[in-house]
């Protein structure tokens, strides 16, 4: 399988690249600083320096891939549109290349609190997290309307730690038990496993260690 990782130089992105290579995938790592973060001689790894908002560069990067993994990050004040416009461009270029599968990272606020309310819209949701929560919500909307086979993973706080394999997941709602933290390695492990198992296609996923 050939996959491409957007946000490859971030905390989760690095884990995705490393674990995917360990699984024997051919991996494309896309980003502005990939050549300073990865060894250019790594077997089965192609480094692609590019701009996320550039349609041509993203289209060329996705060409020949079987699936897309998005670990896009950015600011928390609502002014950084990496998560929304980035996903929008990725989806458009997936369609041009005939690539149907994407597993992407969102945020816990996009999960359901109940049948009618997102966690993002509840009274206790941290006010300082609302702008980035709205960005995640818009990214989810783009995915829902796209027609691609997406899985939108909605983690709580992410800890920079290796995979343990000890985590819980749930479709569209918080998992049980929920400890409000997930290791970056476990988040990456779930995303890669989901590419193979397809248990949460066109679903949001709550996850926790």
Pick out the chain residues at pLDDT < 70: 75-76, 78-79
Output the pLDDT for position 156: 96
Residue 159 in tokens: 């800890």
Residue range(s) defining the domain that contains residue 141: 2-208
User: For 121-146, what is each residue's pLDDT tens digit?
Assistant: 999 999 999 999 999 999 999 999 99
Q: What is the pTM of this model?
A: 0.96
CATH number of the domain where residue 145 is located = 3.40.50.720
Alpha helices in 25-167 (DSSP H): 34-37, 55-62, 82-97, 130-146
Q: How many domains does the chain have?
A: 1
Predicted confidence at residue 76, as pLDDT, reads 66
The three-point CA angle 159-165-168 to 5° equals 80
């Amino acid at each position: 399988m050939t996959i491409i990782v957007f946000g490859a130089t971030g905390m989760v992105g690095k884990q995705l690249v490393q674990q995917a290579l360990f699984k024997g995938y051919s991996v494309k790592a896309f980003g502005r600083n990939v050549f300073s973060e990865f060894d250019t001689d790594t077997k089965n790894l192609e480094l692609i320096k590019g701009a996320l908002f550039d349609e041509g560069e993203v289209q060329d990067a996705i060409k020949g891939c079987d699936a897309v993994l998005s670990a896009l990050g950015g600011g928390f004040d609502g002014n950084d549109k990496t998560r929304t416009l980035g996903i929008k461009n990725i989806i458009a270029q997936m369609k041009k290349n005939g690539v149907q599968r994407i597993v992407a990272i969102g945020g816990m606020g996009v999960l359901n609190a109940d049948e009618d309310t997102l966690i993002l819209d509840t009274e206790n949701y941290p006010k300082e997290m609302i702008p980035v929560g709205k960005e995640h919500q818009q990214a989810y909307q783009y995915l829902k309307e796209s027609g691609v086979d997406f899985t939108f993973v909605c983690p709580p706080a992410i800890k920079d730690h290796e995979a343990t394999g000890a985590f819980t997941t749930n479709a569209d709602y918080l998992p049980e038990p929920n400890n409000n933290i997930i290791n970056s390695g476990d988040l990456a492990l779930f995303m890669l496993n989901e590419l193979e198992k397809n248990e949460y296609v066109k679903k949001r996923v709550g996850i926790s260690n």
